[in-house]
Structure 1
Amino acid sequence: MAKFHIKKGDTVYVNAGDDKGKTGRVLEVLVKKNRALVEGINIVSKSMKPNAKYPQGGIVKIEAPVHISNLNVVDPKTGKPTRVGRKLNEAGKLVRYSKKSGEEIK
């Protein structure tokens, strides 16, 4: 299984595309497609038939997946995008950390 620099629940910054410069929370990581669903990013219009979730049907705006390479994790200390590294903490557990501030990413 591939190791990515982002996980579900991370706050990410969009590096490229129509939503460049925006930030959002990761809702889902699609490992096989190298993509992630980000809240409020890459909104597309989709035609839906009436169903239990959308009783009226019609045109619905939903988030489409964004490629992982176009996302950067936001530094918990500074609030700016940063690269992610991995290191062992005091307990001997492998944790992700911000390359900018050295802060551990939860």
Structure 2
Amino acid sequence: MTDAEVTALAAIVVAVIEAVAAWDRRQTRKDRQRAEKRAARRAEESRLSMDLMSANCALALVTAKKLAGMHTNGDVEEAMEAAKGAQDAYQDFLLSQAAGQVAKV
């Protein structure tokens, strides 16, 4: 093999290695973006779940007050509005996630 052939072969090997490395970097970037999107969805779902739990707790406390014969002084309406709002927000989130999944198909 001549020096020119060795140089050409080395250039081809370097080009192939660089192409494989570029493909790997692209895949890594895509994987990272998917992981970030999943983390954002999980964070939103957790926030909405906490809102639901808080509203549920408010309803439970109002119920306990009423059962104990205490005055609720408008707490019932406030707790019901919080529960309805939290439930609506969670349903909207679920629908948007379902629509996103259907759109992928």
> Which TM-score tier does this pair reach, normalised by the shorter chain?
under 0.3
Which one scores higher on RCO, CA 8 angstroms, separation ≥ 6? 2
The structure whose residues are more often helix, as a share, is: 2
TM-score, with length taken from structure 2: 0.22
TM-score, with length taken from structure 1: 0.22
Which protein has the larger Cα radius of gyration, Structure 1 or Structure 2?
2
